[in-house]
């Protein structure tokens, strides 16, 4: 009897993500002046052990999902490195050539990647596509509405690092005016489609997640809320999903979670070490030039943008290949 393939849906339990996001949102609501001090150390550690690490097993996606393409290890590694580094270099060139366009591409791709990464195993492909778009849109629409000044500052610090013209508050207001209603209408339509196709549990779960994420995005400023989401929601779920794909299923307990995280970190250790060393060198150079806090944040976002394209393509075309084959 053939061994069943592990599920490619985001691994459970989501409740670990729910708990962290709820606590972070409550902290931002009840003690906003303490939020950055309390969350900062956990986020710095999480950005390394989950945020950076979650992409450090990208090399295992193709062998697990399309084994025929990795039949010859030497040829596969040559193709993987050439493709991955080539796409990253193309994004870097776009930042040098057209920083404004590169920023727009980075934000749009992140919205798609985050939204599709959160997407449940819906019955129909169109439901998965709509969820991917509206969930990703939600993560940007809420900060635009509730934190316009802080969002603009964060974006303009990145543009300043690239030597580009800053974006105006009026432009962000215009983006919020159309993105917010579009996300709202999209979610209402998605929930209606779940109800019409008798996926009531899915509808309830998605409503709860939208409320929880909106609470986080409203109560914490964009940098903190995005970091909490990226580390403890997106990255954690991806780590659990990849661990399952690589043969380490979740055990259903805290011990099982620790086992799965340890397994993933061991597999990701080589590329994780290279990534951390590269970031350390980048930051050392920045400190040597007396870089400010905004510059250091901008460097982190710039580094993330360069590798988002190859990472997102591997997830969309590899891990989510079965989603595209649905009705």
Q: How confident is the model at residue 8 (pLDDT cuts 50, 70, 90)?
A: very low
- Domain-located, residue 250: no
CB 302 within 8 Å of CB 157: no
Q: Is 91 exposed, middle or buried (0-12, 13-18, 19+ CB in 10 A)?
A: buried
- Domain-located, residue 127: yes
What pLDDT score was predicted for residue 290?
53
pLDDT > 70? residue 9 = no
Half-sphere exposure at residue 125, Cβ-oriented, CA atoms within 13 angstroms: 8
**Residue tagged 């270099």 (tokens):** 89
What's the CA gap between 250 and 10, in Å, rounded? 11
- Domain-located, residue 254: no
What's the CA gap between 244 and 211, in Å, rounded? 28
pLDDT > 80? residue 320 = yes
The mean pLDDT of 29-40, rounded to a whole number, is: 95
- Domain-located, residue 86: yes
Token pair for 235: 């990255």
Give 251-276 pLDDT, tens digit per residue.
Answer: 667 777 888 888 999 999 988 888 88
- Domain-located, residue 200: yes
What pLDDT score was predicted for residue 252?
65
- Domain-located, residue 20: no
Give 49-95 pLDDT, tens digit per residue.
Answer: 899 999 999 999 999 888 998 999 999 999 999 999 999 999 999 99
* Cα-only R_g, the chain: 20
In percent, how much of the chain has pLDDT > 90?
Answer: 64
> 237: closest CA among 273, 203, 211, 213?
213
Q: Which residue has the higher pLDDT, 220 or 119?
A: 220
What's the CA gap between 156 and 324, in Å, rounded? 36
> 115: closest CA among 245, 210, 239?
210
Q: Which residue has the higher pLDDT, 84 or 249?
A: 84
Give 162-215 pLDDT, tens digit per residue.
Answer: 888 999 989 999 999 999 999 999 999 999 999 999 999 999 999 999 999 999
CB-based contacts of 72, cutoff 8 Å, min separation 6: none
Q: How many domains does the chain have?
A: 1
What pLDDT score was predicted for residue 285?
67
- Domain-located, residue 79: yes
The mean pLDDT of 153-170, rounded to a whole number, is: 90
What's the CA gap between 49 and 45, in Å, rounded? 6
* Domain of 314, in residue numbers: 58-240+263-324
What pLDDT score was predicted for residue 142?
97
Q: How confident is the model at residue 131 (pLDDT cuts 50, 70, 90)?
A: very high
């Amino acid at each position: 009897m053939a061994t069943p393939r592990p599920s490619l849906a985001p691994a459970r339990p989501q409740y670990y993500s729910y708990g962290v996001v709820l606590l972070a949102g409550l902290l931002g609501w009840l003690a906003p002046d303490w939020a950055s001090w309390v969350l900062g150390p956990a986020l710095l550690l999480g950005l390394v052990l989950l945020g950076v690490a979650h992409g450090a097993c990208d090399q295992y996606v193709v062998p697990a999902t399309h084994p025929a393409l990795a039949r010859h290890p030497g040829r596969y590694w040559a193709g993987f490195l050439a493709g991955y580094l080539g796409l990253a270099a193309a994004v870097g060139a776009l930042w040098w050539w057209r920083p404004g366009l590169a920023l727009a591409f980075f934000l749009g791709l992140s919205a798609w990647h985050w939204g599709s990464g959160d997407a449940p195993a819906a019955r129909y492909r169109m439901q998965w596509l709509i969820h991917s778009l509206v969930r990703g849109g939600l993560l940007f629409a809420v900060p635009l509405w509730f934190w316009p000044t802080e969002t603009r500052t964060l974006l303009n610090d990145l543009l300043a690092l690239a030597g580009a013209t800053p974006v105006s508050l009026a432009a962000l207001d215009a983006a919020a005016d159309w993105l917010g209603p579009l996300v709202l209408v999209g979610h209402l339509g998605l929930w209606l489609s779940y109800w019409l196709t008798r996926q009531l549990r899915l509808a309830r779960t998605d409503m709860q997640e939208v409320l929880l994420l909106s609470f986080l995005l409203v109560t914490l400023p964009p940098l903190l809320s995005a970091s909490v989401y990226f580390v403890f929601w997106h990255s954690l779920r991806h780590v659990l999903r990849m661990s399952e794909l690589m043969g380490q299923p979740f055990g259903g307990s805290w011990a099982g979670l620790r086992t799965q995280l340890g397994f993933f970190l061991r597999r990701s250790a080589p590329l994780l070490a290279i990534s951390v060393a590269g970031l350390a060198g980048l930051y050392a150079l920045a400190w040597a030039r007396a870089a400010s806090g905004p510059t250091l944040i901008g460097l982190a976002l710039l580094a993330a943008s360069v590798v988002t394209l190859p990472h997102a393509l591997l997830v969309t075309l590899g891990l989510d290949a079965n989603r595209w084959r649905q009705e």
